[in-house]
Copies of this chain bind each other. A is one copy, B any other.
């Protein structure tokens, strides 16, 4: 899974392949936790034959969105609070390291780009959540996308997509909004000051805060709209 080029700010991506459709439905919760994924059902649901479904499921299995047992088929890996906590913890280890490196290679132009994106984010001021999600992604992409460690960058990207999809489900609290803006500004500041330690610390806090926010909302949603248990 390669990351998008940082320059183009693409429109909301409309899922094309079966793989993307199923993944979207898993992340968005249309396909619930632990739900069985029968090849025949999915084929009908998405209007294709079984072959593409089988392949999509295998790919999703490789990416850990789907669990498969031999001769017992596929199930949706639950995207629950634990899941989010896990990937946030990993992100909290990787992102500071990537940021640290970025501080060492950053150019005037990079900082200008960061500031431009940040300006857009502040102007938008969370009016359009989906657009904000895009801009926020681009902001961090500027920092991570040129890193030589493609594995780490792709890992970040994968986590990012999951978190963004989950975040779409609920609004950003006022407290979180101000924190996001403050942390972004502080990050730019630290990068400009060539203070790698501070930049790393800021991004670590940023990731943690974002994770807490998401998990809190998930907990709330779970408590309120009691979801049906596994099939």
Q: Tell me if A90 and B94 are in contact (CB < 8 A).
A: yes
- Number of copies of this chain in the oligomer? 2
Known: A60-B62, A62-B62, A94-B93. A87 touches B55 (CB 8 A): no
Residues of chain A in range 83-104 having any CB-CB distance to chain B below 8 Å = 83, 85-87, 89-90, 93-94, 97
Other-chain contact of A86, B58, B60, B82, B151 (Cβ < 8 Å): B151
In this complex, what residue of B is CB-closest to A65?
Answer: B62
Q: Is A195 interfacial (CB-CB < 8 Å)?
A: no
| A54 contacts the other chain (CB 8 A) | yes
A37-56 residues with Cβ-Cβ distance < 8 A to B are 51, 54-56
A62-B62, A93-B97, A97-B93 as given contacts; A86 in contact with B152, CB under 8 Å: yes
- Residue among A54, A58, A87, A93 with the most chain B CB within 10 A? A58
Taking CB as reference atom, which chain B residue is nearest A56? B58
Interface flag for A61 (CB, 8 Å): yes
- A150 contacts chain B at the CB level, 8 A cutoff: yes
Q: In the docked arrangement, what's the CA distance between A94 and B87, Å?
A: 12
CB < 8 Å neighbour of A87 from B56, B63, B148, B151: B151
Does A149 lie within 8 Å of B59, measured CB to CB?
Answer: no
A155 CB-CB contact with B under 8 Å: yes
Question: Which chain B residues lie closer than 8 Å to A152 at the CB level?
Answer: 86, 89-90
Known: A93-B93, A149-B90, A151-B87. A61 touches B64 (CB 8 A): no
For the complex, give the distance between the alpha carbons of A152 and B82 in Å.
12
Of all chain B residues, the one with the shortest Cβ separation from A60 is: B62
Q: Which residues of B sit under 8 angstroms from A51, Cβ to Cβ?
A: 51, 54
In the complex, A75 Cα to B156 Cα: how many Å? 23
Binding site for B on A (CB under 8 A): 1, 51, 54-56, 58-64, 82-83, 85-87, 89-90, 93-94, 97, 148-152, 154-155
Q: 9 A-B residue contacts at CB 8 Å?
A: A51-B51, A59-B62, A60-B62, A62-B62, A64-B154, A86-B150, A89-B151, A90-B94, A93-B93
